[in-house]
Structure 1
């Protein structure tokens, strides 16, 4: 691990065109890397019901208690979450952390692992499905919005603050992958959030509007927006949104970072039937609001509350955390994990720095 802000690694030649399949080459691979392209019947994205069985991608810990909760965001969408608490907490009033991500994942995957582990370390934690995904409500299914998904974090703070035994003045949040950018945006606007961490962070508005390493020129962006506008006509005529094919069904020749996504979402390591990236795809028009609503415009306003960015030193996405770190005000910390790629920080507990996350939140939610 290193605590510094080194120069970005050389840009892999594969990234410019990586994942640009079919229709969603228009997003500079922002969603294409997660598996969206041409049409698929909308039955691919049915609303889910709450599962009462343990269906996580990680084993249940005897050191915590777990229960499902639901709560509504400001737009009236009902969200589903897993609440984890230390089993031996007694009557203690504890700090709390809301957690979501990665982009296209569900709470039974990485965010749940983070939540359960941090509950073992003494926090009340809430891993939740964002609007339109997993067991949360909202139609049509499998879409995203920089504004509403930012609001989802604030709604999770609402839910934690209503729990008995949670100190409302000691609530933090963690965003993983694409929800790292949402978490930073939420912390900038919601002053109830006392500390924020982002792990293996993506700025989804940046990658969808500008492509990887900001490689999309104005002419490409204009063509992309024209294609999205035309897709709106097709959806309006059909009366329902179009979806891409099931995500990450690799054909061979994909860039390494796409292979790494598939190694998590499409194998026993991380597959979950409710996850968009494992078993579905986003609506083709999902990029629309991401194209001109930059998430991190006000990142400096997180200060004077603290920010921790954690990223794999070998991750293709490392530059997102480095530029966010440069734009943020103190107090801030960038922690690079040597030898780790982007998806390693989803679930590899020997690489995820839970000790540093524990110390960060213990200090700043004290």
Structure 2
């Protein structure tokens, strides 16, 4: 696989370089309607974020509205976020699908770590990049978050007032599920035990000088819940969503990864997105639907909850007949004027 060095965008500094894969290695076909290039930029913590920039070929000399896209949780930009970004570029938007810090082609050590703070910052860093791009009208920037990065996107929109509209698709509130378990079923005793185990793991990692990792994600042995089987059906299938750099395809998070989510609820300030609009999309048959319903209930107007019939959680990763691209186009066209 051919790799190349690309410059890292750093305002008012000398250019640096990042090594990235040059050839098209997405899980979806390349569109003839858009131009594509790899780009890189720094976030506020100095971590290099590598992204795919998609520009409509008929843009000409005009500046356009722009969208930053990321997710799902444990995925890379060559999967669902790239599909969303390329499709929205076909519809006239400048789009940027990025790998979150510590994952994919983006920088950060150790690898395969997530953070409610840093991953929220990644969205704002993407807005930094887009707002300085010659083809972008910086007053017309929105964001899309998929799965666990739906929660990050809503959090980013609450804190970053430059974001004029936000959409989440098949959203997970990662802080809620890690801190409380699915359907808030974790007891105080279970939570305490989990935190004790994570504390013990920190000592082991400190003694080893590096973090330990869990088992490879989504290796099924039988008897798993249907939603786990659905995840494996996407991430493990080379005909669908497998990608070698995806944590969910063939790697794992650090064992201590849940720590920073356990007492930092992502959506505390979701109502402060208002008066900017929020669109929350979820599948009717998704096990995770309650995350979006709660987020919608706590958000302030203007807001919309769109439930897609006959769709499970992962259907909204790549099933183009179920992903409501027409609605996303209408939403951002209306609200990024």
Quote the offset at 1:165 in angstroms: 1.5
Q: Which residue of 1 aligns with 2:38?
A: 68
1:187 aligns with 2:149: no
**Which residue, out of 276, 281, 293, partners 1:310?**
281
1:200 aligns with 2:200: no
CA distance in 2, matches of 1:162, 1:286: 33
1:237 aligns with 2:207: yes
Name the Cα RMSD after superposition: 0.7
Q: What is the total number of aligned residue pairs between the two structures? A: 319
Q: Which residue of 1 aligns with 2:61?
A: 91
Quote the offset at 1:282 in angstroms: 0.3
1:165 aligns with 2:142: no
1:121 aligns with 2:91: yes
Quote the offset at 1:244 in angstroms: 1.0
**Which residue, out of 138, 146, 151, partners 2:121?**
151
Q: Which structure is richer in relative contact order (CA contacts within 8 A, separation 6 or more)? A: 1
The one-character-per-residue Cα deviations of 1:179-214 (angstroms, maximum 9, x if unpaired) are 000000000000000000000000000000000000
Q: How does 1:277-288 map to 2 (within 5 A)?
A: 277-288=248-259
CA distance in 1, matches of 2:294, 2:151: 12
CA distance in 2, matches of 1:237, 1:82: 38
Quote the offset at 1:331 in angstroms: 0.2
CA distance in 1, matches of 2:24, 2:117: 31
Q: Which residue of 2 aligns with 1:104?
A: 74
**Which residue, out of 178, 181, 184, partners 2:148?**
178
The SS at the match of 1:85 is strand
CA distance in 2, matches of 1:205, 1:220: 16
**Which residue, out of 253, 269, 278, partners 1:298?**
269
CA distance in 2, matches of 1:70, 1:279: 24
CA distance in 2, matches of 1:138, 1:297: 27
**Which residue, out of 165, 174, 180, partners 1:210?**
180
1:356 aligns with 2:327: yes
Structure 1, gaps ≥5 residues long: 1-47
Structure 2, gaps ≥5 residues long: 1-17
Quote the offset at 1:246 in angstroms: 1.3
Q: TM-score, normalised by structure 1?
A: 0.87
Quote the offset at 1:49 in angstroms: 4.2
CA distance in 1, matches of 2:292, 2:309: 15
The SS at the match of 1:273 is coil
Quote the offset at 1:88 in angstroms: 1.1
Q: Which residue of 2 aligns with 1:257?
A: 227
Quote the offset at 1:335 in angstroms: 0.2
CA distance in 2, matches of 1:129, 1:51: 13
Q: Which residue of 1 aligns with 2:20?
A: 50
Higher deviation after alignment, 302-311 or 159-168: 159-168
Quote the offset at 1:51 in angstroms: 0.2
The SS at the match of 1:50 is strand
Quote the offset at 1:144 in angstroms: 0.1
Q: Which residue of 2 aligns with 1:138?
A: 108
1:79 aligns with 2:62: no
Quote the offset at 1:289 in angstroms: 0.5
CA distance in 2, matches of 1:274, 1:296: 29
